[in-house]
Every structure is written in C-alpha cells, then in structure tokens.
Amino acid sequence: MFSNIFCHRILCSPTIIDYLLENYIVWPCDVTLEVNRNMLANIWQEVFHDQLLNEFDEKKYPKLIGIKRIVQEQQNGSLAPDYQPVL
C-alpha cells in the first residue's frame, strides 16, 4: 500500500519525472515477478560483480537505485570508468 502511495505522489510528479529524465537513465523494473527479479539480479551482477541486490526483500519495494560513474586511475596513468550503485 505505501509503495503505491510513494509511486503515485513522488514518482508521478512532473517535477521529479523531468529531473530524473534530465539527469539519469531511467529504467523501471517490476520485480514482483520472479523472472523480472532474476533478470535484474543478473544485470546487477554483470555490471557490479556482486550479489548485493539479492539481499533485498521484494516486499520492501519500490526501490530507487541511483548509479554513479566513478573514474579510477590505473597503473599506466589512463583513466578507467567504473560504476557504483547508490542505494
């Protein structure tokens, strides 16, 4: 019930929608179906190489996950982009 209120009042706000679309890649994912949870977990592991997402209880959704780009300097002086989840 509260997740529906959150989605309706916050995520449906034109101001929030405009901000998210302007600053992020927005990918909604309904994880109430097991096939979708598995797909998201596989993508998560491929990108972040960890199982953190699997520790979340699907009853505690919706989740809003931000992903920020970080740059790490490698030994040869080149910069390597990487991504870090922000939960």
The string of pLDDT tens digits covering residues 12-54 is: 889 988 988 887 777 777 777 889 888 888 888 887 776 666 6
Q: Specify the pLDDT at position 3.
A: 58
Taking residue 56's Cβ as centre, other Cβ atoms within 10 Å add up to 15
CA angle, 8 then 25 then 16, to 5°: 35
Q: Is the model's pLDDT at 2 over the cut of 60?
A: no
Paired with 3 in beta bridges are none
